[in-house]
Amino acid sequence: MTIAPAQLPKRPATTDELAAAIAAASQSSTQIRLTGSNSLPLTRFDPERPIQDISTLRVKNVLDHAIPDMAITVHAGITLEALQRHLAWHDQWLPVDPPIIANPPGRTPNHRTLGGLIATNSLGPLRFGSPGGSGVGDWRLLIMGMKWIDASGTLIKGGGRTMKNVAGYNTPRLMIGACGSLGAIAEITLRTFARPQDERCAIFFCTSAEQAENLLAEILTSTTTPAYVQAIGARTFAGNPLQLPSPTRGIAVVAGFLDRPPSCAAQITAIRELPAAAGIESIAQTAAQAGRLRLWMTTEPSVETLGSPEGLGFRLHALSSQISPLIAALEVAAKNENAGTWLVAEAASGVLRGAIASPRARDLLQNCIAEHAPGARILLTQNRPVENPAESPSLIARLKAEMDPQHAFGLSPSLL
């Protein structure tokens, strides 16, 4: 199929139009920049070659909702808000709470497209294991199948519409986190879940990293099934949306539960009675407050979040046990520089989102990682990927060379 550049459907409304737009751009040697809500553009392009923006925002329909089978198929351009609203009519939901991108301001994660969320592997506190407290909650669990478009504009099917599927290679998993560098996500079939009846959380005000780590270790080996477990620097917690008082030092640990009201209440009681919780001031929050706090905790900060012209926003991935010492060390290092900080971690998953308002922020971060979290990987700085591949770059380069030899889709952050 050949389409003159002037006729390129830059805002396609169907999967076929999306495929046609990609095919046409590819044939003209134009680089293809897929844009959803454009919240987190991570793919890098060759500045010497023309770039064609192709938006998925109009490819946004619910294609099939097998309500009793708890499975839904949607276009990639559907926003999370639209998807959740549709599911809510049927008392179902998708248990994801992706980060709020602080820059540009005013965006909420609900405006982000599902395709964009998957392509950037965007998840929040519920990544730890919201469905039934199973301890698993990432995109691998949620995605049953996908149709994606390769660099020639051909529609590719991967996975299916069943709970289990090991027929052939699972190409959809290759699209998770690939930032659109290997193909364009067009349609996704997702597993859905019954909406939890209640959400509650307990907030513990730990006065030291050691106290926080002891508590985290006990929560994570307890008989409870938290949907999220967070750790927040004391100075960051001072800005909490619930206007709860914050200690001047230490770490706030937040454990949240999504379940029936009695189960939530019982589990909150159980973790407040853990031996490591003895002597730690704590407070419980019910549904509305817990939900607001969880949303705030997804903030992907930049230095602008701190109102500073200088510094560094970052996201890193460490071991869960490294999180409390790292937060404490960063707090001290920044305080010594009179620098503001934003430090909120998905403590159970080891993901720390932070910002340090100091011109020496990068050095402070590297030093603290070296001392307290060896092996931790910085994933983003200022909402841009860093040259620190999570996976074997040589394998990704080989896949890229085979699947998109002309680099029509730009480069994956892992290949920068």
Partner 1 sequence: MTTALHPASGTSLISALQAALSAGQVISHPDELVVYECDGFTIPRARPLAVVFPTSTQQVVAAVNVCRKHNVSIVPRGSGTGLAGGIVPVTPGVQISTARMNKILEIDLRNRFALVEAGVCNLALSTAVANSPFHYAPDPSSQRASTIGGNVATNAGGLHTLKYGVTVNHTLGVEIVLSDGSVHTVGGPQGAGAQIGPDLTGLLCGTEGTLGIITKVWCRLTPKPTAFRTALAIFDDTQKACQSVADIIAAGIIPAALEMMDGTMVGIVEQAFHLGFPKNAQAVLVLEVDGPDLGLDEDLAQIESICKKNGADFQGGSDPKRRADLWSARKRAFGAIGRASPSYCTQDACVPRSKLPEVLAKIAEICARHRLRATNVFHAGDGNVHPILMYDEADESQVRAALAASGEILRYCISIGGTLTGEHGVGIEKLPYMRDMFDPASLASMHKIRHALVGDTDAMNPFKTLPREDINIDLLHPQRKVPQ
Residues 263-322 contacting partner 1, CB under 8 A: 263, 266-267, 270, 315, 317-321
In the bound state with partner 1, the residue whose beta carbon lies nearer, of 176 and 188, is 176
Smallest separation (angstroms) from partner 1 to the CB of 301: 16
Smallest separation (angstroms) from partner 1 to the CB of 393: 8
In the bound state with partner 1, the residue whose beta carbon lies nearer, of 54 and 379, is 379
Name which position in 3, 136, 244, 283 contacts partner 1 (CB under 8 A): 136
Is the preceding peptide bond at 41 cis, omega within 30 degrees of 0?
Answer: no
In the bound state with partner 1, the residue whose beta carbon lies nearer, of 235 and 315, is 315
CA distance 209 to 82: 40
The mark string for 34-53 relative to partner 1 (x by CB under 8 A, - otherwise) is --------x-----------
Question: Which among 280-288, 305-313, 332-340, 401-409 is the span making contact with partner 1, rule CB under 8 A?
Answer: 401-409
Name which position in 18, 178, 190, 365 contacts partner 1 (CB under 8 A): 178
Report residue 186 CA to chain centroid gap: 20
359 contacts 311 by C-beta, under 8 angstroms: yes
Smallest separation (angstroms) from partner 1 to the CB of 200: 13
CA distance 147 to 145: 7
Smallest separation (angstroms) from partner 1 to the CB of 328: 17
In the bound state with partner 1, the residue whose beta carbon lies nearer, of 264 and 357, is 264
CA distance 245 to 285: 14
Q: Residue 3 interacts with partner 1 (CB under 8 A)?
A: no
The mark string for 351-380 relative to partner 1 (x by CB under 8 A, - otherwise) is x-----------------------x-x-xx
The mark string for 89-128 relative to partner 1 (x by CB under 8 A, - otherwise) is --xx---------------------------xx-x---x-
112 phi and psi, to 5 degrees? -80, 150
CA distance 257 to 290: 9
Cβ atoms within 10 Å of 248's Cβ, excluding its own: 8
Q: Which of residues 148-177 bind partner 1 (CB under 8 A)?
A: 150, 154-158, 160-171, 173-177
182 closest CA partner among 397, 416, 334: 397
In the bound state with partner 1, the residue whose beta carbon lies nearer, of 30 and 263, is 263
Question: Which among 236-244, 335-343, 363-371, 390-398 is the span making contact with partner 1, rule CB under 8 A?
Answer: 390-398
Smallest separation (angstroms) from partner 1 to the CB of 128: 9
> Which single residue is written with the structure tokens 């190409």?
171
Please, what is the angle between helix 361-372 and helix 323-336, to 10°? 140
Name which position in 109, 133, 233, 410 contacts partner 1 (CB under 8 A): 133
Q: Which of residues 180-199 bind partner 1 (CB under 8 A)?
A: 181-182, 193-195
Smallest separation (angstroms) from partner 1 to the CB of 313: 15
125 contacts 294 by C-beta, under 8 angstroms: yes
Smallest separation (angstroms) from partner 1 to the CB of 281: 24
CA distance 221 to 104: 39
For partner 1 (CB under 8 A), the number of binding residues is 97
The mark string for 202-241 relative to partner 1 (x by CB under 8 A, - otherwise) is ---------------x--xxxxxx----------------
Q: Residue 131 interacts with partner 1 (CB under 8 A)?
A: yes
